[in-house]
Amino acid sequence: MMLSWQHLLAFLVAIALLVAVHEFGHYWVARRLGFKVLRFSIGFGPPLITRVAGADRTEYMLSAIPLGGYVKLLDEREGEVASHEVHRAFTRRPHWQRILVLLAGPAFNFIFAILLLAGMYFVSGITELRPVIGPVRIDSPAYLAGLRNGDTVIRLDGQPVQAQSAVMLGLLDRLTGAGRATLTLTDDSGRQREVVMQVNDAKTRRELTEPDRLMSGLGFSFWQPPIAPVLGTVVAGGPAAAAGLQAGDRVLSVDGEPITDFLQLRQKIEPMGGRSAVIGYLRAGTEVTARIDIPAEKVGERTIGRIHVTPAPGTRYPDSMLHHQSLGPLQALGAGVAEAWNMTALQARMFWRMLRGQVSIKNLSGPLTIAEYAGDSAAAGAGAFLGFLVLISLSLGFLNLLPIPMLDGGQVVYQAIEWLRGAPLPERAQAIGQQFGIALLVLLMGVAMFNDIARQFG
């Protein structure tokens, strides 16, 4: 998929906001602890807007390249410092204060995510889809383990679960770690049983971690309500529009096979990329047929057929499938802290397993994929975009804590070593560390950009 200006705008808004939060953390703590702040910049490169303010004559800048930012502190390593200000230089402040300033950026990203989560939970509560199993592919790992259509997952390795997302993330975590997970199920009659889902082969486990592969690799999906095959949106210039289909048409058949559900229509079209099909549909009480050319498109890691239509609105999950909880302010804050902790802990485990080769490196995403997600979430509504901001803010906080010399976490390690040994590391050691950090970041960025290009252009 090619990125539109809406994707780029949403991406720039998200990145500028989260970078501002991160850098404000460094700035705010530095000011409170008595460091002199010379510059606070959102973005890199030539300044677009500059304002000098305060007793310290701090420069506040908005720069041309909005993909980062920085806070510049008074520092003897970067030039001569006046004697009356030397006590406010970074290198003259106590080590614990330097470490707090370095940790403040990631901390503010975590706090921002927690406050967003708490606000969403307080305003809307928490609504989750119950983990009711839908179709299970015969001879798949899920089928061989004993999952059947209509089962409800109530516990995962002994821990109660109430949401589809908890089951998916739990399976991802356990199957990439121990390689097995125990599910407690109830069937339609209310009888309980335990099944063990196990993936012994390391290569297969790694493949399950590739984008969009977990559920299809395990061979099951969650139950979805029937969606009438009535077209809600027919994208102008798309294959369906070119064949004459319009919003309000009810699809009756594809190549003579009856269609009774929109999901069935999608499942029929997806493997037909690069071919044509005869679509039967009903319009104003009259049955019509049309031949439609179905292009093959790259979506994530798959190449599928798409005709660029969406279902008509109106279908909703029954109340029996929804678990809703209203929360007060303190409950919402507690839930936000718990969710942020769980997401960050899972991210840390998956990153460590990626370094060990247990998780696919295809999960590393660069700016193109992030921009795509930003635009799609913004188009889906405020709630989805705020959820995207939560995820990226937590990721930004976590990544900056990694002990890589170019990042906040690496600088914390330097300061801790200097504190313990009573003297800075030798310049040679610092130079080697910086070179290693640059090489590692270039490698990670290179892999992420390769993944981006592979997703965009196949």
253-310 tens-digit pLDDT: 999 999 999 988 998 999 999 999 999 999 999 999 999 999 988 765 568 899 989 8
Residue at 298 is within a domain: yes
**Is the overall model pTM greater than 0.85, yes or no?**
no
Partners of 351 in the beta sheet?
none
Please give the DSSP secondary-structure letter assigned to residue 209.
Answer: T
Number of residues in the chain: 458
Residue where one domain finishes, among candidates 263, 285, 312: 312
287 and 394 share one domain = no
The predicted pLDDT at position 334 comes to: 96
Residue at 335 is within a domain: yes
443 and 393 share one domain = yes
204 and 246 share one domain = no
Residue at 183 is within a domain: yes
State the DSSP string of 45-105: EEEEEEEEETTTTEEEEEEEEEEEEEEEEP-GGGS---TTTGGGSGGGS-HHHHHHHHHHH
449 and 338 share one domain = yes
Domain enclosing residue 349, as ranges = 101-125+327-458
Residue at 260 is within a domain: yes
Give the three-state DSSP class for 180: strand
Digit-coded pLDDT (tens) for 199-214: 888 888 888 888 878 8
> How many other C-beta atoms are found inside a 10 Å radius of the C-beta of residue 100?
18
Residue where one domain finishes, among candidates 187, 222, 257: 222
402 and 420 share one domain = yes
The predicted pLDDT at position 457 comes to: 58
How many folded domains does the chain comprise? Answer: 3
The predicted pLDDT at position 369 comes to: 75
Q: Is pLDDT larger for residue 236 or for residue 159?
A: 159
334 and 443 share one domain = yes
The predicted pLDDT at position 81 comes to: 85
Residue at 428 is within a domain: yes
159 and 111 share one domain = no
Give the Cα separation of 339 and 277 in Å (integer).
Answer: 46
Residue at 199 is within a domain: yes
Catalytic residue positions, numbered:
23
Residue at 382 is within a domain: yes
Digit-coded pLDDT (tens) for 417-457: 999 988 888 888 888 888 888 888 788 778 777 776 766 65
The predicted model gives 54-64 an average pLDDT of 90
Q: Phi/psi of residue 160, each to 5°? A: -60, 140
336 and 296 share one domain = no
Half-sphere exposure (CA, 13 Å, Cβ side) for 335?
Answer: 19
Identify the H or E element spanning 197. Answer: strand 192-198
138 and 118 share one domain = no
Residue 279 sits in a domain whose CATH number is 2.30.42.10
Picking from 409, 411, 400, the residue whose alpha carbon sits closest to that of residue 18 is 400
Residues 6 or more apart whose CB falls under 8 angstroms from that of 75 comprise 81, 89, 90, 91
Picking from 395, 409, 416, the residue whose alpha carbon sits closest to that of residue 440 is 409
288 and 168 share one domain = no
Residue 139, burial from CB neighbour count under 10 angstroms (0-12, 13-18, 19+): exposed
Residues 6 or more apart whose CB falls under 8 angstroms from that of 435 comprise none
Residue where one domain finishes, among candidates 203, 222, 241: 222
152 and 199 share one domain = yes
342 and 440 share one domain = yes
Residue at 15 is within a domain: no
Query: For the stretch 60-97, what's the b/e string if a residue is b when 16 or more beta carbons lie within 10 angstroms of its beta carbon?
Result: bbbbeebebbbbbbbeeeeeebeeeeeebbbeebeeeb
